[in-house]
Structures are given as structure tokens and as C-alpha cells.
């Protein structure tokens, strides 16, 4: 599949904020969160919104890189692990901890973080079918062959029609 054949799902700042708030609403009824772990970098923006909405003050990051060229998922690098003080919340398995990311795609990153905090609640704004079983809560599912363009990845530019120039 070439880049021009790929399905795209552009997400505006307004849409992303609305979807992140919708995630907060779902999470509000699930439990009391003692801490949050944001998966960087994509999880930072939804984490800020969810923390604000739910009043979470203890915020930690786990820094993992899997997309090295914005096109293809490559090898997974854990750049920064989760602080042991956060892992130690409620017995060291992640109970009471909320993990946030923007997207679960193939589930590769989610599996690594899930192994670090097996009892944490994992939430993403968007989910693709391969990674969906690894998250507990998400807002929108898109097909596996869809590329999501997040607002921090885009500038304002012309978008050609889906049907091509002849339409």
C-alpha cells in the first residue's frame, strides 16, 4: 500500500480535545485514580486533559519510541522507565494507576507498558483492531489501515478530494 492509497483520519485540535474529554467522562465513573502514567510523546496531550478533568495530580511518564520516521513502526526503545514510586502505588502492580496514550495501533507499545503495570487501567483516545484488546477504555476505533494525523503533526494545507482530481 502506498502513502496515497492509505486511509487517513485527520484530527483537529478541537476534535482531539472533545475526544479526550469524552475519555475523561468514561474514566470518571470507573474508579479513583491515585496516579497517571502518560506514554510519551503522543499520550502527553490527552494526559493533560484527562488529569485536569479528573483532578489527578501525580503524573509520570514512560518514554517509548516506536515510530522513528512518522511512517513505519520500527524497533521499540524504552527511553525512560516508570518511576518506581509510581509503580509502587497499591502494591506495585499498578492498581489505582491510569495509563494514557493517544492511540493503540499494533499493541506493541501497549504490551510493554502493560507488562510494567499489569493491574493499571489502560486508556487511549483512539484504537485500531490489533491493539484494541490491550486497552481497557477508548473512544474511537479506526481501521488498521488508517493513518491518524494528529493536530501536532499537521499544518494548514490543501487536502485533495478522496475520489481524486476528476470528481
Domains, the chain, ordered by start? 20-151 (3.40.50.2020)
Active site annotation includes 166: no
25-50 b/e (C-beta count within 10 Å ≥ 16 → b): eebeeeeebbbbbbbbebbbbbbebb
* Gap between the terminal Cα atoms of the chain: 22
Catalytic residue list contains 69: no
Per DSSP, 89 falls in state G
pTM score of the predicted model: 0.85
Encode pLDDT of 32-51 as tens digits. Answer: 899 999 999 999 999 999 99
Which of 14, 101, 153, 165 is flagged as catalytic? 101
pLDDT per position as a tens digit, 81-127: 998 877 666 567 888 999 999 999 999 999 999 999 999 999 999 99
C-alpha cell at 43: 499520550
- Beta-bridge mates of residue 9: 148
Q: Is 115 a catalytic residue?
A: no
Instruction: Select which of 105, 115, 165, 166 is catalytic.
Output: 105
Is the pLDDT reported for residue 10 higher than 80? yes
Amino acid at each position: 500500500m502506498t502513502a496515497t492509497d492509505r486511509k487517513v483520519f485527520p484530527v483537529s485540535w478541537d476534535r482531539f480535545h472533545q475526544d479526550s474529554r469524552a475519555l475523561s467522562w468514561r474514566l470518571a465513573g470507573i474508579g479513583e485514580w491515585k496516579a497517571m502514567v502518560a506514554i510519551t510523546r503522543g499520550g502527553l496531550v490527552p494526559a493533560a486533559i484527562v488529569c485536569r478533568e479528573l483532578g489527578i495530580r501525580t503524573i509520570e511518564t514512560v518514554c517509548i519510541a516506536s515510530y522513528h520516521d512518522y511512517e513505519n513502526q520500527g524497533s521499540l526503545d524504552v527511553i525512560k522507565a516508570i518511576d518506581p514510586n509510581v509503580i509502587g502505588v497499591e502494591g506495585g502492580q499498578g492498581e489505582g494507576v491510569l495509563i494514557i496514550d493517544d492511540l493503540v495501533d499494533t499493541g506493541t507499545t501497549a504490551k510493554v507498558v502493560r507488562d510494567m503495570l499489569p493491574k493499571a487501567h489502560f486508556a487511549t483516545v483512539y484504537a485500531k483492531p490489533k491493539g484494541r484488546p490491550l486497552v481497557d477504555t477508548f473512544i474511537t476505533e479506526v481501521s488498521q489501515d488508517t493513518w491518524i494525523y494528529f493536530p501536532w503533526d499537521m499544518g494548514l494545507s490543501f487536502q485533495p478530494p478522496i475520489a481524486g482530481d476528476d470528481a
